[in-house]
Amino acid sequence: MNKLSRDDLERFEKARHAAWLLVEYAPRSVAELRLRLKLKRHSEAIIDRVIREFQANDLLDDRKYARLVIQRSSTRPQGREALVIQLRRKGIAPEVIREAFEGFSAEEERALALEAASRRFHGQPFTDPRRKKKKIFDFLRRRGFSGELAISTADRLCAKGLEHDLNENE
C-alpha cells in the first residue's frame, strides 16, 4: 500500500469506518458499497483502496453475496427471474450470477413455488377454479417465477387442492 498523507489517511479511515458500518449492517456487493461511499462524498481513490482492503480481508465478495441472496430466497420464496434482477441491480456481473445459480436446481425452484403459493393461499375459499388458478399464477409471476412454472404450480394446486399440498410438504 502506498504511503498516505495525514489528510488522506484520515479520509481513508473515515471511508473504511463508513464501509465497515455498511457491511456490518447487511451484506453488500462491491458496486453497492462503492455507490454508498460515493454518496458520502469519498474520492474514487479512497473508495478503491477501501474496497481492495475489504476484498483482501474477505469482507466483500460478489460471489458469496450472490450465493447468499439465492439462499435467502428459501425464507421468502422468489423465482430465478426475480433473483437475477435483484442481483443485476446490485451490480453483480452476469458470469457471477450464472455461477451462483449452478447449485440452484429446477426442482428446488419448483418446491419454492409450491411452498410460496401453498402458504399464501392456504384456507382461502375460491368458488371459481379459474379465478383461483389466475390468482396463484399472478402471485408466482410477481415473485419472479417463470410463466411455465407458475402455470404448472397453479395447475397442481388447483387439481389437488391447497390442503393436500400443504400436508405433502410437511
Look at 4 and 144; give whichever has higher pLDDT.
144
Helices 80-89 and 62-72, axial angle in degrees (round to 10): 140
| CA distance linking residue 37 with residue 22, whole number of Å | 9
Q: Which of 16-25, 26-35, 160-169 has the lowest mean pLDDT?
A: 160-169
User: Looking at the 3D structure of the chain, how many domains does it have?
Assistant: 3
Q: In this predicted structure, what is the pLDDT of residue 165?
A: 43
Note whether residue 132 is domain-resident.
yes
- Which of 29, 44, 60 delimits the end of a domain? 60
The percent of the chain in helix, strand and coil, each rounded to the nearest 5, is 75, 0, 25
Residues 81, 44, single domain; the answer is no
Residues 120, 89, single domain; the answer is no
Q: Which residue range is the domain that position 163 belongs to?
A: 106-169
What percentage of the chain reaches a pLDDT higher than 70?
Answer: 92
- Which of 60, 78, 93 delimits the end of a domain? 60
Residues 119, 159, single domain; the answer is yes
Note whether residue 125 is domain-resident.
yes
Cell of 110: 419448483
Sequence-separated (6 or more) residues with CB below 8 Å from residue 104: 70, 80
